[in-house]
Amino acid sequence: MKNNKRRSFYFLGSLTLVLMLLMGCSASKKKTLTENKNIYSGLSNNQDKAPAWNPKVTKEEKVKFVTSFKDCPAVGDKVVTGILKPIRQKFKLPAVAAAIVTNNGIVVIGAVGITKEGTQIPVNLDNRWLIGSCTKAMTSTLIAILVEKNKLSWNSTIAEIFPNLSRSFSSEFNSITVEELLGQRSGLPRDLYENTLTWFDYHDEESLISQRLNLLKNFSNKKLLFKPGTKWSYSNIGYIVLGAVIDKISGKSYEQAMKNYIFKPLNMKNSGFKRQISVQDINHLWSHYYTGKPTKLHFPYIGNSAGGNTYCSMEDWSKFIQDQLNGAIDKSGLLKPSSYKKIQTPVKGISGALGWEIKNHALYHSGTDILNFAQVYIYPTKGYAVLFCTNMGFDILNAPDNDDDIPVQKAGNEVCKKLGQYYLSSLKK
């Protein structure tokens, strides 16, 4: 990443990159991203080894990838698949899915492509897509539920939430509030690699709760980037700390709290925090490098769920977005109207809310692990939202400064724009 402007795009992208870059490099954990381009060599015996991080693609491989786009499989509403097919072809994506959602639910939905490059297995509407940092809006909603239950407040501090540990924490860290964590104003660094750490410093812990708590302790005495509440700086670490907060306050793991308070009430039966499918299963929706080559690995199930480790079908994700749309027009749902207003209202002085960013007059977020990409635009005043997912990532080492110039994001923006135009024009008929 070339500057701090690359914010919502990366959810766990940076975390996953470091996870990939530094696993198996115990003797040189402090190498920079560009010094070490080998990924994830420490797989267990029953997993395939990953290809090199920046694999050289032969002419034959490129031709094979391009020719696989003939007779593109499609499922869902034709208006959606008609928009998706040429954009998939243009950006050489294995599979893409999209939907338009209103206060009343899904208007149109569709998916095109194949689950894994080199096969003819078509996508379907039950495939689970990684939504990455779009999870952060769910985390914000979960915190709001706990606030409504009087289990904590927006101004609860780290010291108040962890009283038995706070004596060993720095005063600045202790002063960070829940709202500052949600609004990216905590002063915590963006990712683990900025402190020469990786998830494998925590991965040996038996439970996800232990992983998150140990990360919180590790950062409790590190120098913050700024005094909490005074500036904005995107931080995946901040959301992992929020995961630890939810573990503590809810009395359950973050993952179980999400299931109890969000997935179950919204009937999101096709959602979770790992794909729960064998890497050998060809019907699995595989991740792909920016070259179009499918991965031969699954990442470890590590404790960063609150920052962006959610997988869900397009239908399930649409249910959550519908709930957010209803909240924007003062309808109760998972939350009271006042709580929706709290998390969706831009924080003074920044272009973001709590778990959301503001882009093109919309509530917006995107997410990636550099092998998948998702994004959503919600237009509360117009009463609709557009969602997009693909199972291919991008070249993070050579990514442009402007997120919108990254190919997968350009593809997503084109799809969302065309679907938005379709929906608005349909209202005039």
SS (H, E, C) the chain: CCCCCCCHHHCCHHHHHHHHHHCCCHHHCCCCCCCCCCCCCCCCCCCCCCCCCCCCCCHHHHHHHHHCCCCCCEEECHHHHHHHHHHHHHHCCCEEEEEEEECCEEEEEEEEEECCCCCCCECCCCCCEECHHHHHHHHHHHHHHHHHCCCCCCCCEHHHHCCCCHHHCCHHHHHCEHHHHHCCCCCCCCCHHHHCCCHHHCCCCCCHHHHHHHHHHHHCCCCCCCCCCCCCCCCHHHHHHHHHHHHHHHCCCHHHHHHHHHHCCCCCCCEECCCCCCCCCCCCCCCECCCCCECCCCCCCCCCHHHHCCEECHHHHHHHHHHHHHHHCCCCCCCCHHHHHHHHCCCCCCCECCCCEEECCEEEEEEECCCCEEEEEEECCCCEEEEEEECCCCCHHHCCCCHHHCHHHHHHHHHHHHHHHHHHHHHCC
Q: Band the pLDDT of 337: cuts 50, 70, 90.
A: very high
Compare 46 and 200 and report the one with higher pLDDT: 200
Average pLDDT over residues 168-181: 97
Cα separation, 358 vs 278, whole angstroms: 38
Q: Is the pLDDT of residue 173 over 70?
A: yes
Q: Band the pLDDT of 306: cuts 50, 70, 90.
A: confident
Task: For residue 112, tell me if it sits in a domain.
Answer: yes
Q: Is the pLDDT of residue 9 over 50?
A: no
Task: For residue 226, tell me if it sits in a domain.
Answer: yes
Average pLDDT over residues 258-282: 80
- Domain of 256 in residue numbering reads as 8-427
Query: pTM for the complete prediction?
Result: 0.83
Task: For residue 315, tell me if it sits in a domain.
Answer: yes
Residue whose tokens read 């379907």 = 124
Task: For residue 1, tell me if it sits in a domain.
Answer: no
In the sheet with 129-130, reading across from the earlier edge strand, the strands are: 129-130, 311-312, 271-272
Cα separation, 166 vs 160, whole angstroms: 8
Average pLDDT over residues 280-301: 73
Q: Band the pLDDT of 397: cuts 50, 70, 90.
A: confident
Q: Is the pLDDT of residue 365 over 50?
A: yes
Task: For residue 2, tell me if it sits in a domain.
Answer: no
Q: Which pLDDT does position 305 carry in this prediction? A: 83
Task: For residue 74, tell me if it sits in a domain.
Answer: yes
Q: Which pLDDT does position 303 carry in this prediction? A: 66
Q: Per-residue pLDDT tens for 225-238?
A: 999 999 999 999 99
Task: For residue 196, tell me if it sits in a domain.
Answer: yes
Average pLDDT over residues 236-255: 95
Q: Is the pLDDT of residue 278 over 60?
A: no
Compare 61 and 377 and report the one with higher pLDDT: 377
CATH of the domain at 310: 3.40.710.10
Q: Band the pLDDT of 201: cuts 50, 70, 90.
A: low
In whole numbers, what is the pLDDT of the chain averaged over residues? 81
Distance of alpha carbon 389 from its chain centroid, rounded?
A: 11
Cα separation, 58 vs 37, whole angstroms: 19
Structure tokens that stand for 361 in this block: 């007059």
The HSE-up count of residue 51 (CA atoms within 13 Å, CB side) is: 14
Q: Band the pLDDT of 86: cuts 50, 70, 90.
A: very high
Q: Is the pLDDT of residue 273 over 90?
A: no
Q: Which pLDDT does position 40 carry in this prediction? A: 23
Q: Which pLDDT does position 202 carry in this prediction? A: 55
Q: Which pLDDT does position 53 carry in this prediction? A: 26
Q: Which pLDDT does position 299 carry in this prediction? A: 55
Q: Which pLDDT does position 267 carry in this prediction? A: 98
Q: Is the pLDDT of residue 398 over 90?
A: no
Q: How many domains does the chain have?
A: 1
Task: For residue 3, tell me if it sits in a domain.
Answer: no
Q: Name which of 423, 116, 113 is nearest 292 in CA terms.
A: 116
4-18, 50-64, 215-229, 250-264: least confident range: 50-64
Question: How does strand 105-113 pair with strand 271-272?
Answer: unpaired
Cα separation, 25 vs 43, whole angstroms: 13
Compare 98 and 299 and report the one with higher pLDDT: 98
Q: Is the pLDDT of residue 58 over 80?
A: no
